[in-house]
Amino acid sequence: MTLANDCSITGTPTTAQIQSLCYVLATNTAGRSIEKVLITINNALVAPSIANATAISGTTGTAITSTSFTNSGGAIASCSVAPALPTGLTLANDCTISGTPTAAQTATTHTVTATNTNRN
């Protein structure tokens, strides 16, 4: 990153950096001015990439074996599923499906979507 003569800070950061305090000094023939600037560089967010869930089969009134996905992408912040899971089953924020089904249901394909904090 660079500081131009007009005091603008430009450039593309290449590494993450914890918040640091920088001072910018501007001068001309009339005097000078100093201003503080806090700069934090965060790592770029990578979208989660989930796969490899197995088919779930259960019996009403009996807890299923929790089912998780393999994530080869960025950190998962939340998950959603469509259509809704059968009554008694839940989807956790890490995309794990667990619970005890309370009613029989025919085989249904569900789509689970994982997102990061950037909603990717």
Q: What is the pLDDT of residue 63?
A: 95
Q: With contact defined as beta carbons under 8 Å apart, do 50 and 112 qualify?
A: yes
Other beta carbons within 10 angstroms of residue 89's beta carbon come to: 21
Q: What is the pLDDT of residue 118?
A: 67
Please give the chain's pLDDT, 120 residues, in tens.
787 877 788 888 887 778 888 888 888 899 999 888 888 887 777 888 888 767 888 899 999 999 988 888 888 889 999 999 999 999 999 899 999 999 998 989 999 999 987 665
